[in-house]
Structure formats: structure tokens, C-alpha cells
Structure 1
Amino acid sequence: MISSALVFLLWGVVCPAWAELRICNDTDLPHDVAVGYKQDGRWVSEGWWTVQPAACVTPISRDLQYRFYYFHARNPERTFRHDRLSFCTQPGLFTIGGDNDCETRGYDKTCFAKIDTGLGNKSFRQNLSSHSEPWREPAYLEPGTWGVPFTGEAVFLDCSLMFQGGLQFCRFIGSGRVFTVVEDSRTPPEVFAALRRMTRATPVQIEGDWVGLYEDSVEMVLRSAKERAPSDEDRVLNLLQGDWYSEIDNNDQFTILGSERQNRYGGASTSVEYLSVMPFCGEFDGLGPFLYAWDSQGGTGLCYEIKEVTESVLDLVYLPRGTELRYLRQETGPDTPIR
């Protein structure tokens, strides 16, 4: 008779241990699950699997070669607590290679949570309850949650990726300030989705909380950013768009794109400035409109009275000296290219 110990030993030889990543639904609601992982040196995202309560799915049924894997679980009655790590997804079944440029490739950008399988583990079980929580009204909907409540008009500048962490941030220009909003759990994802669809120089009404004030810049958490009807100042800014050169010195040139001015001299780029068109500028009020320009690296701001702006001519008066500066639009001037 074979001893129980020998049977156990033979079982271990004949039937090797399971090697897999299992995701189990220990909540009382069904979830759709997607995973992200590295395969042959390239990131891959895959889904969706529907996992019923008390059931599991095995999206990876092989040895786990890496310590970290990633997943997302969705149910309309639950909130998924992610780790701000984005992968590409789409509504139906998918297997997508690469985790960059999701929207430009026609996919959705979805934040995933990290699965730490530990060092050397060939298999791992991840429960949904660790990241799927009962839905509740987000705190960011309450004014003053993150800082000083603020509502005001601005002009959309752009959205880009931060150098560290791959977090997206978007910028607005308004009332002589740069408003910066970072894509994190404080600002609703639908607000960022709307911002990514905006074009440069779109007039917007923003509502949110000031969380940091630094010279001419403000960090904000947004509750909403909605396109609004252009104001008189917006219409003046729209006339300023394009390439200009000085009437008295053709080497003195600049390009205005949205709320940014790229200055050049003799064809060489110099400074980049942010621009606001306002009915006042510092102690100057009542003449207007005024152009407030400040260096993008935090330099001193300058005030100009906009004496005239047409399709071909821009007359500025530098304050407080009263120096008149006259510019002509590039299309009406010398053949020297401005770019």
C-alpha cells in the first residue's frame, strides 16, 4: 500500500501547481474586467470579461513573469479606485497593443489599478473588493472641498503630458493668470474628456477650487469647464492671432497662437509670453482694451493699451511710458518668412 505521504509527493510531480493570474469577484454585483500587462517587451491591454459574484476569471493562464500587472473593473453601481495608470480600452471585446496615444488611435483611455503579485510568485489571486467600492457622490462636487471656490472666464490654452508620472494637465489663460488643472482623482474624468476635445483659444467658463497660487499661475481642481459665448475681449484676442512684424524693424517679429506669443528677432526665437486681453491692467483702467503679457518662465508682466487692431495693423501703447509700437501682419509685409 502506498503511503499518503508518497501519494502527495507523486501528485506534486504529476500535477504541477497552477500558474495563472486570477481575478475573483467577491462583491455582490457582476463586473466587467480588463487587464494590462507586458508581453514581449510591449504593453498589452485586454478585456472585457464579465465576472459574476463569487466567480473568477483567468485572464493570464501561464507563469507570471513580472511582479506587477494591472486591471480595471467596472459596474455602474460601484466606484473603481485606480492608481492613475492608463491603458487603452474600447467598449466591446478587445486586445490592444501599446498604452500610448489611445484617443488618437480611436480607443478610450482608462485608468487601471496595480496588482502586486510579489517577488517570485508564479500565480496570484486578485479580489475585486480591494478596488471596487459602493458608489457615492464624489467629494469634488462640493465647492471648497480642495481650496478656495472660484468661478470665472478664461481661454483654453492646451493639454499636454507632464514629464513625471505621465499625468496629463490642461491650461487656461484668464485675467492675467495661467490656470493649471492636473488629471487626478480630484477633477472628474468627464471634465478632462471635454478639455481634450477643445481647440486652442476656446472661450470657457471654469468653476472649481484654487489649491495653489504662485505669482501669475494658479493650480485648480475643476468641477466644470464649459464653452461660453465670446466676450469683447475674446474677439480682440481673435483679431490678434497670426504673424506680426514691427513697422520700424522688420527683424522684430512675433506669432500669436491662442493665448501665447512667440517672440523672435532676426528669425531666432527669443521669449514666449502668455497674453490676456482685459478691460484693465494694473492701475490702468478706463481706456482699454488692454493687453497684459508676461513671460512664460515667470517674468515681469507688461501692460499695453490696444490702440488699434485690424486685419493688417496692430497699434500698441506701452504703459506707463506711452511708447507707441506699430506692427503689421506678415501677409501684408516683407517676403521674409516669420517661421
Structure 2
Amino acid sequence: MKAFSTAIAVLCGLAAGPALADLRLCNEASARHSVAVGYKSGDQWMSEGWWNIDPGKCATVISGDLKYRFFYYRLLAKGRRFEHEGYGFCTRTSAFTIEGDKNCADRGYTNSGFRQIDAGDARDFSFSFTDAVSVTEPVEAAPPAAPRAEAAAPAEAPGTWGEPYASGAALFQDCVSETEAPFCTFHADGTKFFVYDDGRTPAGVFRAMRTYLPGTPIEVRGDLEAIHDRTADIVLRRVIPRAYDTWDNTLSRMQGTWYSVDDPNSQFNIIGSELENIYDGAFGAREYLSMRDTCEHFDGGNILVRMDEETGDVMCYSIEELGAFNMLLMYLPRANFHEFRKLD
């Protein structure tokens, strides 16, 4: 049996009087961590994340009486390596609740390593993690070497700045230079990624991204630095263009400004993977676009997903028609049609 000397488990709820029954994770490490959990629900394994927990704080990750003995957790933090124990669950970079722990990659997820929590027969349990299970990655100095002709420094080793990450299905969005901290963005795995020009991502990567148009298909490799609700910060080592797939071609044809046939004042503008709503000239909510095999409880493939940037609310559509100047969408929950015409 493995000794859990690297974390502290505290059994709660022994005092007299009513108590809230749940599973809480507490951060006794020295850095903020993003936390995901795995657990049994009926006859199905579930995984869920992410909770951002500051040092000295706790978060309730499972509410209600605990019905099982074992639970599992995974940590992410900037510049750290999580010491997992080989228990595998499906995850993704954005917020998630995933049923099942099998065939993660086939379903568009990542199979990630977790550690085990033994809650015994407690109905209420608190568990604290420490720096011992989220190890700071040392940045090794380069050994002395003969002068080299090239001016560019080599990229840092994978894992230097966080959890290694790669995507072969990313879409470039834009670069913004008119700020104190210039950055570029791309979309992948239902998440908007921010790459900051702070000296960690090689200058050549930024030079390449600044030549791309919104919606350019790219492959990326880097270190996942931080995860937020619908966005993430990443330090890139590599970015290259890739061939267009079915979704890339569809998105390319959707670029531009569209108006509703039923109400011409209702419009939206699509740039890259982002849709900005406009009504009577006033800008409204921004949405992230993606194509998935499933959306909510709908499946069948090639489903257009519109996710609100602020709330994370999701709307599911099928694309019935898409021409040079016309688009017909079917809103899946009600099976009603929305027809649009292109302005430009």
C-alpha cells in the first residue's frame, strides 16, 4: 500500500451538531492550483474540473453524503509537475463534466493521470494537498558550449512552464500588440488560449502567428500555464500551419457579417472562431464557435456549438445549408430553423 506522506487527509464532521456532507479539497501548497476530480456515480465513472484554489483556501468538489470510499484528483499549476499515481480519467483544458473513463481520445478528451484519496467510510471528508505532489520544475542552466552562429535561443524543455500540451486541431484567432503585454490567441478543445509575448515563447513563434489570418488551421505545442473558466494561458514552443479539415472549410465559408431573414436588425459577425452578436447596431454577447460530434444530449456528428464567452452557456445547431450568401441553421432543442443572409 502506498504511503500518502505527500498529502494530509483530515476527517471532518465528527463534532456534534449538523454538518454539511461533502468532499472538500484544500490547498496547502505554496501556489494557486487548478483541480479536477474523478469519482464513481452509480455504475459510471465521472470526471469533473476545474476548480481554481488559492493557497490556504478550500473548495467543495463533491456535494452531499459521500457514498464511496475512493476519490481521485489531478492538479495543474504554473511551472509544476503533478506526481500522479497512474489512475486515468478523461479531461480537457476548459471546464468539463465527463461521463466514463474509457476511449478519452476518441471522444475528443485527454487521458490524464490522477492520485487517489481514501475517504474510508466517512460521509464528509476534507483532503489537503501540498507541494510534495505538485513539484516545482527546476530550470537547469545550459552547460558551457562553444559559440554558435545562430542568434535564436533554443526553446525550453517540455514541462518548463506547466503541463505539456499539444493540439493538431487548433485555429488561430488574432494577435494584439497595442497593450503593455502583447499577446496572440487561438482556439482548441473548446477553449480560447492566450500566448503572451513575455520572453518565454520564442520570438519566431510570434513572428509566424502575426502572419496568419483569423481561422488559419494550426498545430501547436507548449506548456499549459493556467486554466480559467473558458480560457487558458499557454507558453508555446512550436506553431505550424496544417491542412484544412471539414470544420476548417465550413468555418472559412461562415466568415463575415450575417443578418436574420426574420429580423434584419438581428446580425452577427464571424471572425475566426468567434461570433459577435449585433442588434440594431449595438454589439452584444460574443460566442466561441466549434464543431463537435455531440452537444448537450444531441449526437450524430458535425454539430455547430455556440458557447457564450461570459456565461459558458451552450447552444447546439445543425448546419442545414451553407452557401456563398445564405445559411440555414436548425436549433436542435426545438428543431426550428433560422435563416440568414450575408451582408459582405
- Give the counterpart of 1:143 among 158, 177, 181: 158
Aligned match for 1:193, one of 198, 203, 207: 207
Partner of 1:271: 285
Q: 1:185, CA displacement in angstroms?
A: 2.5
Change (3 A) 1:282 1:208: farther
Matched residue, 1:21? none
Q: Hey, what's the Cα distance between the residues in 1 that align with 2:334 and 2:200?
A: 45
Separation in structure 2 between the aligned mates of residue 184 and residue 264 of structure 1, nearest angstrom: 34
In structure 2, the CA distance between the partners of 1:293 and 1:212, relative to structure 1 (3 Å rule), is same
Mapped partners of 1:217, 1:304: distance in 2: 23
Matched, 1:306 2:319: yes
CA distance in 2, matches of 1:298, 1:269: 16
Is residue 341 of structure 2 the alignment partner of residue 325 of structure 1?
no
| Runs of 4+ residues deviating >4 angstroms | 133-140
| Separation in structure 1 between the aligned mates of residue 311 and residue 317 of structure 2, nearest angstrom | 18
Are residues 1:157 and 2:170 paired? no
Aligned-residue offset at 1:221: 0.9
2:251 maps to 1:237: yes
CA–CA distance in structure 1, aligned partners of residues 317 and 170 of structure 2: 19
Establish whether residue 292 from structure 1 lines up as the match of residue 305 from structure 2. Answer: yes
- Give TM-score, length-normalised by structure 2: 0.52
Question: Match for residue 77 of structure 1?
Answer: none
Cα shift at 1:232: 0.5
Q: State how far apart, in whole Å, the 2-side matches of 1:298 and 1:218 are.
A: 16
Match of 2:128 in 1: none
175 and 305 in structure 1: CA distance in 2 versus 1, 3 angstrom threshold: farther
Is contact 1:203–1:230 with CA below 8 Å preserved after alignment?
yes
Letter paired with 2:190: G
Q: Helix, strand or coil: the match of 1:201?
A: coil
Closer, same or farther: CA 140–162 of 1 in aligned 2, 3 Å: farther
Name the SS for the 1:145 alignment partner. coil
User: Contact between 2:230 and 2:312, CA under 8 Å: does it hold in 1?
Assistant: no
| Aligned residue runs from structure 1 range 163-202, under 5 A | 163=179, 166-202=180-216
Shift of 1:312: 2.4
Q: CA RMSD in A?
A: 2.5
1:278 deviates by 3.3
In the alignment, is the contact (CA less than 8 A) between 2:220 and 2:240 conserved in 1?
yes
Residue ranges of structure 1 left out of the alignment (5+ in a row): 1-132, 332-339
More helix by share: 1
Give the distance between the partners of 1:320 and 1:140, measured in 2 at CA: 47
Distance 1:304 1:195, change over 3 A: same
Note if contact 2:226-2:233 (Cα within 8 Å) is conserved in structure 1. Answer: yes
Structure 1 residues 283 and 297, CA gap change in structure 2 (3 angstroms) = same
Structure 1 CA distance, aligned partners of 2:316 and 2:234?
A: 25
Residue correspondences, number: 196
Write the deviation string for residues 118-150 of structure 1: whole angstroms up to 9, x where unpaired: xxxxxxxxxxxxxxx977996843222222222
Alpha-carbon offset, residue 205 of structure 1? 0.6
Shift of 1:236: 0.4
Name which structure has the greater RCO, CA cutoff 8 Å, separation 6+.
2
Deviations 1:171-228 (CA, angstroms, capped at 9, x unpaired): 0022321011111232111111111122222111111111111122111111111011
Q: Distance in 1 between matches of 2:259 and 2:232?
A: 32
Letter in structure 1 aligned against 2:187: I
Report which stretch shifted further, 246-255 or 140-149: 140-149
Normalised TM-score (structure 1) = 0.53
Match of residue 213 from structure 1 = 227
Whether 2:328 is the aligned partner of 1:315: answer yes
Q: 1:254 aligns with which of 268, 289, 294?
A: 268
